Amino acid sequence: MNFKRRYVPDITRLGALGDGNYLRLLKLIPRDFDDKVAEFQLSSDTQYLGRVRIKLIETCKYTDTVYLEQIHNSGKWLNNPQMTVRLYHDVGMAEVISCRRHRRIQAVNDYPNRFMHHPDEKIQINAFLAEWLDYCLKFGHAICDLTSKM
């Protein structure tokens, strides 16, 4: 008999990704997030790698929802990352709730499926967010406006 095992999500890994992504985002979001948009430049030595914009789109009592996108990257990424992330301040976690055209990311997907999502798509997308945020922390720089200093 050939029984197909159903994918069981690794809740421990998903939780660890959520904890880590929350801490990474707190390092990237300025304390004075009053204008609701933060932007920083990515560069390595003299190489310009693009900009990242973080936009606050919703604030509730225990959560914030932000939209992250990489823009103006001059072709370094195949597709510029675009994600909506919810930060849960009461538990110190963050999770991707949408990514590009994927409005809702399921914890478990049947496979094969219409959109060819992997069974562990939610973990993969949150792991990608962790890698992207690490990249931003390593190569991110404040954008200097030299004209305002004159």
Report the amino acid identity of residue 124: Q
Residue matched to tokens 């994918």: 7
Q: Which of 84-93, 106-115, 141-150 has the highest mean pLDDT?
A: 84-93
- The answer to whether residue 126 scores a pLDDT higher than 70 is yes
- How is the chain split into domains, by residue range? 11-141
* Widest distance between CA atoms in the chain: 77
- For 38, list phi and psi in degrees, rounded to 5: -125, 140
Task: Say which residues have a Cβ less than 8 Å from residue 6's Cβ, sequence separation at least 6.
Answer: 108
> In this prediction, what percent of the chain has a pLDDT beyond 90?
43
Given this model, what pLDDT does residue 146 score?
44
To the question of pTM greater than 0.85 for the whole model, the response is: no
The tokens for 129 are 């967010």
Q: Please, are residues 7 and 111 in contact by the beta-carbon 8 Å criterion?
A: yes
